[in-house]
Copies of this chain bind each other. A is one copy, B any other.
Amino acid sequence: MDNKITKAHGSGGIFSHNLIKEVFLKYFDNPILNQLRDAALLNQINGKLCFATDSHVIRPLFFPGGDIGKLAVAGTVNDLAVCGAKPLYLSCGFIIEEGFPISDLEKIVASMQKTAQDAGVNIVTGDTKVVEKGNADGIYINTAGVGKIPDNISLAENTITPGDRIIISGTIGDHEAAIICAREEFKITGNISSDCNIVNSLTEKLVKNVPGLRIMRDPTRGGLATILNEFADKQNFGLRIYEDKIPIKNSVRGLCEPMGFDPLYMANEGKIVIIVSNNDADKALAIMKDHKIGKDAKIIGEVIEEPKSRVLLKTQIGSDRILDMLTGEMLPRIC
């Protein structure tokens, strides 16, 4: 096989078949994918399913803490996980620029498979398109995923009650800060690693053991502040978080302050924020702290009666500031 992707790899003909066999099947190998049908035939399922998708256009493709492959699997796995589901199956759609090194594709595919294996999911169906040089930036990856929601689990905003606690599973802003450092245009040398990771083993523990769990989300694009606003939007409660309780790495804070980035709006790729009953808050926190991706978990705030539908930040000097959704844009192509 040539060492670069050519248009023929996207033709549907013999080059496409060879790419599938020599790269995709080599890593993704599983009985469902190996049938190579137009659609994957899944095993019998009885119950409620969850279905999610994410496209990934991150730049650079390889960054401290991860790469586009790890991110593409984690992104969809995490979307399923925070809905309370056990992720089961993933699809993947590659859009590759002509001339892309096949060795880089293999690195990405290997990383996808490792992440999928860690998450306990199989990549069962896929598609590859090749576009002419200049019409994509190396590679874009879409994943979609199917997961099963345990019986009697229903996480939703309308179960949230004043007095409930807000918990974040760790430090915020790490992913976006790592990408800023990795982008050549900023000419910054930093030692910040993305938190890019799957969260489903943690969410599955919470779903199983915390009856007072109201809702979970992964604060990706738009960051913690945007997700909290999504929780509160049009609801009959407000949310308050405390600036001095929010875990932020010194390295991230040191990067953001001079550049004017606000970690509250920066993307995370391996964190969850949950709302849980006051009674179960300590239990949920203990489960997080006991998990390798939740060691820095903190209770950062609570659900309040007023102002309804709003998110407040109690600042370190004690004043309440309204936190809106992200209004402009931060950095493009962070995921």
Contacts and interface: CB of A to CB of B under 8 A. Distances in A.
Interface of A: 6-8, 10-17, 37-57, 78-80, 82-83, 85, 89, 91-95, 124-132, 134-137, 140, 142, 144-147, 149, 217-218, 220-222, 226, 265, 267, 324-330, 332-333, 335
10 contacts: A7-B329, A11-B222, A13-B326, A14-B325, A38-B79, A46-B46, A51-B124, A54-B127, A93-B144, A95-B140
Contacts of A95: 55, 57, 95, 140
Given A83-B38, A267-B12, A332 B226 contact: no
B146 A325 contact: no
Contacts of A142: 53, 55, 93, 127, 142, 144
Contact of A49 (B45, B129, B222, B325): B45
Nearest to A130: B332
A79 B41 contact: no
Contacts of A329: 6-8, 10-11, 13, 15
A39 B147 contact: yes
Contacts of A57: 95, 129, 131, 135
A85 B131 contact: no
A137 B97 CA distance: 11
B13 A333 contact: no
B45 A46 contact: yes
User: Most chain-B CB neighbours within 10 Å: which of A12, A127, A135, A325?
Assistant: A12
What are the nearest 9 A-B pairs in CB distance? A12-B221, A13-B326, A144-B144, A12-B222, A39-B52, A53-B91, A142-B142, A55-B93, A38-B79
Contacts of A12: 220-222, 226, 267, 326
Contact of A326 (B14, B79, B220): B14
A85 B45 contact: no
A40 B149 CA distance: 11
A201 B47 CA distance: 26
Given A11-B330, A41-B149, A136-B137, 5 more contacts: A11-B222, A13-B326, A52-B125, A56-B129, A129-B333
B42 A48 contact: yes
A144 B42 CA distance: 14
A8 B331 CA distance: 9
A232 to B, nearest CB: 13
User: Most chain-B CB neighbours within 10 Å: which of A43, A124, A226?
Assistant: A226
